Structure 1
Amino acid sequence: MESLQTPDRLIRLAVDLVNTRTRDPEKLTSPADVRQFLLDHGESDPITLDEHDLAEVREVRELLRPVFHAEPAEAARILNQLLAEYAVRPYLSDHDGSPWHLHVAKPGATWGQWLAAGTALGLAGFAAGHGFQALDTCAAPDCERVFVNPAVRRPRRFCTPTCAGRTRVASHRARRSAGPGG
């Protein structure tokens, strides 16, 4: 398990992990999918996973999902619970010949435990700096993706410009079909 290089990396891990299951087909269907997810997010081989790891990572994903929907006190409770269960006092490590880096998961943690500790820390730090309103779910009626928005004065309602455009077009068409004054 590689470094927790930056808070941004942990936040991206959390958002992308939650977004592996939306209305789109499940993206983590095998240990190989989890392995690719980890590689895509900066981890390096060797990454060895089995069906238990797949189930554990999916469970972590479902523990994180409510953080993006909950009221601030409930989101904080969830993150504090994840931190209490999975995180440890941060420590430096240079295992496997890697450069020195910070760990917050227990030594010997599974990939699911590592993801739980790191993503909870990333989201907690982000919420502390930007407020829980900066953790959100796409406003498009046909989308369930989550996102973070650090911008203070630019409220964001959609996960991507594509969802924003699709929603605007649908709204425009609905108004036009309603006729004059509609």
Structure 2
Amino acid sequence: MDIPAPDRLVRLAVDLVNTRTLSPERLTSPAAVREFLLEHGESDPITLDEADLVAVRVVRERVRPVFHADPATAARVLNELLEEYAVRPYLSDHDGSPWHLHVAKPGATWAEWLAATTALGLASFVAGHGFKALAVCAAADCERVFANAAEKRPRRFCTPRCSSRTRVASYRARQG
């Protein structure tokens, strides 16, 4: 449960929120949460139960408003998460791992770790890029969120696929 690199922190937050969108729920079981954590660089052992599943979903829904809210509200949400879950960063080499940084309390659950880590990642990202760099896809049939650090190239869509689908739909509507 170490702190991933800064770009991974933001990706972790984005991907966590995107586990529930208009598409089916991705966090359907403790095994699905375990797979999500493994996909994001965490290593075994990862032991989760139904209570962990519920707690991770709660964290996800607490992080979600950061992408939808006005900057003042989003900042309040991040500050609340940091106050509730984060601790003064400390170095650890637990379980024989190389030295790494922790921001969640020792013995934190996976949900507590996700809350502290994603809040730190998003707060750091926003401090460097502003809240305008966090967005929700503009495609009518998508509600995925994304982070865009490229100031000179603003994005409206989460993927080129959503952008293309929207352009094609707009073209067809004009032709009809």
Give yes or no for the alignment of 1:148 onto 2:157: no
How many angstroms does 1:152 deviate by? 0.8
Q: How well do the aligned residues superpose, as a CA RMSD in angstroms?
A: 0.5
Partner of 1:170: 169
1:35 aligns with 2:14: no
Q: Give the aligned partner of residue 110 of structure 1.
A: 109
Runs of 4 or more consecutive aligned structure 1 residues displaced over 3 Å after TM superposition = none
How many residues get paired?
176
Deviation at 1:25, TM superposition (A): 0.4
2:95 maps to what in 1? Answer: 96
**CA deviation vs aligned residue, 1:141-182 (integer Å, no higher than 9, x gap):** 0001000000111110000000000000000000111xxxxx
Give the counterpart letter for 2:138 in structure 1.
A
Using structure 2 for the length normalisation, give the TM-score: 0.99
Unpaired runs of 5+ residues, structure 1, are 178-182
For 2:172 and 2:62, the matched residues in 1 are separated by 38
What amino acid is aligned across from residue 90 of structure 2 in structure 1? Y
The code of the aligned residue for 1:120 comes to A
Q: Identify the residue that residue 123 of structure 1 maps to in structure 2.
A: 122
Structure 2 unmatched runs, 5+: none
SS at match of 1:143: coil
CA distance in 2, matches of 1:129, 1:118: 17
- TM-score, reference length from structure 1: 0.96
In the TM superposition, residue 5 of structure 1 has moved relative to its aligned partner by 3.0
What amino acid does structure 1 have at the position aligned with 2:53?
L
- Which structure has the larger Rg? 1
What percent identity do the matched residue pairs reach?
77
